[in-house]
Structure 1
Amino acid sequence: MTTAAQPAHTRILLKLSGEALMGDDAFGINRSTIERMVSEIAEVVGLGVQVAVVIGGGNIFRGVAGGAEGMDRATADYMGMLATVMNSLALADAMNRQGLTARVMSAIDIQQVVEPYVRPKALQYLEEGKVIVFAAGTGNPFFTTDTAAALRGAEIGAQVVLKATKVDGVYTADPMKDPTATRYAQLSFDEAMVRNLGIMDATAFALCRDQKLPIRVFSIARPGALKRVVMGEDEGTLVYA
């Protein structure tokens, strides 16, 4: 039985969008926002939870989106991967400043900046209590960071993928447009597919379903939400096999 002193999950993969780092800014990284997120991560690490993070690059790429218009898709995706490396470095730096030990591991080879992703090394870091930030997605164009989160989550044996968004779960309709929309407490993968809820891209969603890796969608903007999710409380929406 889960108690107040016993987390429901001991190893998690946290998926952050790049936009989550912007705060109220138009693009880039908002320092107070990233520091608040790191404080929430530090709180669950203090409970003994092993944490890995995959972060998107939309906040960085948004600043050059106009120049990328009409660009070859693969080239644009590689630019996006580099944006995730920038975000990962910023996040790891903020973690280290707050007393955590963070390691950035990249799916593309830029060893002068970050170390390459090597699964046994990642597992070792987690066992040592370090926080891993997986950068550069899967290392391949045409795959999103949602897919990277599902892939890395399966590889490291995470018990859940936590998708942090600006909305506190999955709703029957857009809660910003429909005040009668209600939040699902939980859904099966099949139910989410039938209702076309668009929780993750199709590749990521199928991978989680096939690996029986649950997804929890919650709002990173709600104070204490990450800890409540880790403790197994009714926060956000659980999608399960």
Structure 2
Amino acid sequence: MKYKRILLKLSGEALMGDQQYGIDPTRLEQYANEIKKVVDKGLEVAIVIGGGNIFRGMQADRIGIDRVQGDHMGMLATCINGMALQSSLEQQGVYTRLMSGIQMDKVCEPFIRRRAVRHLEKGRVVIFSAGTGSPFFTTDSAASLRAIEIEADVVLKGTRVDGIYTADPEKDPKAVKLEELSFEEVLRKDLKVMDMTAFTLCRENKLPIVVFDMNKPDNLIRLVEGANIGTTVS
């Protein structure tokens, strides 16, 4: 296997499937299937999932809600998605632990680094919810931070496109896929890989990022086995 311990970043929007909002049970089951294949190979898997299918903190201003309050609402949305993914994984026989950046002891454990690492060492999938626990930070930033804390080998950012392009491939038919990039090239070309805080954390800690299409069956397992999938930033 190419990696021993990975952090998988999933967007909340990806859970919508073809719906306008909420959680698509078919997409949820698909993701749980893909994650199980990797766990069965002996990999240690941590996951950070967004909450955009339910609420995004940045939407708060538009409906007259204070940004800090909005970000906390977004954190709760990631907990809902985390609980859904945990349930789906456990239905398939995968042991999981849901950890939160904010106190919520009735539904999940508080994030404690050493405890999270121990869960991973025991073969449990650890889902990190509630972002960093602080407003003004995205789940991309949470993914980078948690990956560094648990000493993951890589951040795998599962999206609906198969890598990083010179432009948005859904809008520009002339967009060209880039196979491999350095952190400096991403900055120079102003490519949108992650938000700047998340990207800087990875760059300073020499943590590679792989952007790939999570919706294509077997992409995740092939990627961790060493196949040339998506775009690698290192």
Task: Assess same fold via TM > 0.5.
Answer: yes
User: 2-side partners of 1:66 and 1:53: how far apart?
Assistant: 26
Q: How does 1:93-112 map to 2 (within 5 A)?
A: 93-112=87-106
User: 1-side partners of 2:111 and 2:62: how far apart?
Assistant: 28
Match of 2:55 among 48, 58, 61: 61
For the residue of structure 2 that corresponds to 1:238, the secondary structure is strand
* Percent identical residues: 53
CA contact (8 A) 2:12 2:81 kept: yes
Match of 1:87 among 78, 81, 88: 81
Q: What's 1:4 paired with?
A: none
Residue 188 (str. 1) matches residue 182 (str. 2): yes
Query: Deviations along 1:181-224, whole A, 9 cap, x unmatched?
Result: 22111100000011010100000000000000000000111111
User: 2-side partners of 1:76 and 1:55: how far apart?
Assistant: 17
Match of 1:126 among 120, 125, 133: 120
For the residue of structure 1 that corresponds to 2:177, the secondary structure is coil
For the residue of structure 1 that corresponds to 2:53, the secondary structure is helix
CA contact (8 A) 2:61 2:67 kept: no
Give the length in aligned residue pairs: 232
Letter in 1 for 2:43: V
Match of 1:136 among 130, 154, 158: 130
Residue 30 (str. 1) matches residue 12 (str. 2): no
Residue 45 (str. 1) matches residue 39 (str. 2): yes
Residue 168 (str. 1) matches residue 184 (str. 2): no
Letter in 1 for 2:2: A
Letter in 1 for 2:53: N
User: 1-side partners of 2:171 and 2:129: how far apart?
Assistant: 34
Q: How does 1:202-217 map to 2 (within 5 A)?
A: 202-217=196-211
Query: Deviations along 1:147-200, whole A, 9 cap, x unmatched?
Result: 000000000010000011111100112212222322111100000011010100
| TM-score normalised over the length of structure 2 | 0.96
Q: What's 2:64 paired with?
A: 70
Segments of 4+ in structure 1 off by > 4 A?
65-68
